[in-house]
Amino acid sequence: MLRKIFTNSFGILFSRILGFVRDLLSASILGANIYSDIFFVAFKLPNLFRRIFAEGAFVQSFLPSFTASKHKMRFAAAVFMRFVAIILIFSLLVTLFPHFFTKLIALGFDEETIELAAPYVAINFYYLLFIFATTFLAALLQYKEHFATTAFSTALLNISLITALLLYKEANKENIVLALSIAVVVGGVLQFGLHLFIIHKKRLLRPLIMGFLAKKEKIQKDLIHFYHNFLPAIWGNSTAQVSAFLDTWLASFLVAGSISYLYYANRILQLPLALFAIATATALFPSISKALQRKDEAEATKYLQRSFHFLFAMLLFATIGGIMLSQEIIWLLFERGSFTRSDTLATAKVLQMYMLGLLPYGLAKLFSLWLYATHNQKRAAKIATFSLLTNIAFSLLLIYPMQAAGLALASSLAGFMLFWLNIKAFGITKLKTFVFDRKIIYTILAACLEIAIIALIKEFWRINENF
């Protein structure tokens, strides 16, 4: 199990390093202003769906139904065709009415900014088609317990965006935004092409093609069961993504640059979240799902317990480091070119508020696997709804006194609600065996040591600066 987790983590780390290079270049070339806000808004909707599809939500609803189906490739082909048809229709609507959808994403933008952003929203949206196709093929590879391709593939999107930034760094900012938008779609094509090649290498392409050609009468019950669970599963797994989307929507009412502060801070939050929580959940879900399908709850709990201790330690250390070193992290990564010192201070405050929610969001991701593996998607959806309502309520309370940092804090508070409701669903009694363990005590002691070391280093640095 650890080998699978580290395979995912290493691939995600490689992709995220390239992602930080991309963000570093974006901050230097575009800065934190109306043009960076326009690109992040344009990429927000397809990026929301990318996270929903690519970070487990689709797989956790599709894979149990796929595993249970007696006609697997027919079932897979039918699901693929229906989703592609829906996405194509949606993409056409965005192309025909880009101003309307831009207004939905950034209601606080004035008409002139909406006019400027609308074409880029339409271009970016076509990325959704390719990322869904990529995620669909990734689900088939996960069934075969192959994780590396999907983990590393995000690097292709980042390489495409980095290339566009380097080629157009001397261009005016409107052309840079256009180049980035086209690069997003190119990155999607590259990701899909890589997965298609690996599907062929794994000898899954021919059976899948046969599934497209076969009659679909024998899989109607499988499809009904899948669609019955799909929307609750997607909703239940997407609270963090929807919260980030709401942050952008509300931040459009704040001063220029607020959307960018949220974006850059959230990018840093996503590194440990993806590196540890998403990588662990992705590797763990097929094993838990198969164990519960065999009615072996003890084995499934054992998988979860081992992963809990690892995840608790990694996320706790990352939370402490992120909060205590927020200014240093932002300064190191972004403060150059058009990204000023005031941008660093504003983004660091947002990062601190986001990092408060890292541990609860990551652990909630782990315990939610139990609900999806037991086909309890409706309860997961109810839990997600309560969490989202918490986020909305605190966002409205905190947006004006704390500005962008208030939106980030509201998201973190929603993460605590999500965690609490998920462990209640899993069972407090069962959780006690996880918590009352020596490993937890050792982790907390190590975290206290981390706090002391970081505090000493910062004090030493401050004294040297004064001299």
Looking at residue 54, what is its pLDDT?
Answer: 57
Angle among Cα 368, 371, 374 to the nearest 5 degrees reads 145
Exposed, middle or buried: residue 428 (CB in 10 Å: 0-12, 13-18, 19+)? exposed
- Divide the 467 residues of the chain into consecutive groups of 10 and give the mean pLDDT of each group: 68 79 80 77 74 66 77 86 89 89 77 84 89 89 82 87 89 87 93 93 87 75 77 72 76 80 87 84 77 77 82 92 91 80 90 94 87 79 89 91 90 91 84 72 88 84 60
**Domain extent at residue 286:** 2-436
Residue 454 inside a domain? The answer is: no
In a domain, 146, yes or no: yes
Per-residue pLDDT, 320 = 93
The whole-model pTM stands at 0.71
What is the three-class DSSP state of 108?
Answer: coil
Q: Which residues are within 8 A (CB) of 464 and not within 5 positions of it... i.e. 6 or more apart? A: none
Q: Is residue 457 part of a domain?
A: no
Burial class (CB in 10 A: 0-12, 13-18, 19+), 302: middle
For the chain, the straight-line distance linking the first and the last C-alpha, in angstroms and rounded, comes to 51
pLDDT for 467 = 47
- Does 442 fall in a domain? no
Does residue 395 lie within any of the structural domains?
yes
Number of domains in the chain: 1
SS3 313: helix
Contacts of 337 (CB under 8 A, 6+ apart): 27, 28, 29, 31
Amino acid letter, 359: L
Q: 461 in a domain, yes or no?
A: no
> Is 466 domain-assigned?
no
CA 280 vs. chain centroid, Å, equals 14
Give pLDDT, residue 216.
65
Q: CB neighbours of 317 closer than 8 A, spacing ≥ 6?
A: 446, 447, 450
**Structure letter (DSSP) for residue 1:** -
Count CB-CB contacts under 10 A for residue 291.
19
What does the angle CA 378 – CA 283 – CA 426 come to, to the nearest 5 degrees? 35
Measuring CA to CA, how many Å separate 439 from each of 4, 306, 428, 444? Answer: 22, 10, 19, 9
CA separation for the pair 360, 364 (Å, rounded):
6
Q: Quick check: is 94 in a domain?
A: yes
Q: What is the amino acid identity at position 86?
A: I
Tokens (6 digits) for 212:
């497209």
Backbone phi, psi, residue 425, to 5°: -70, -35
Round to whole Å and give the CA distance between 81 and 95. Answer: 21
Q: How far is CA 51 from CA 56, 234, 360, in A?
A: 8, 11, 18
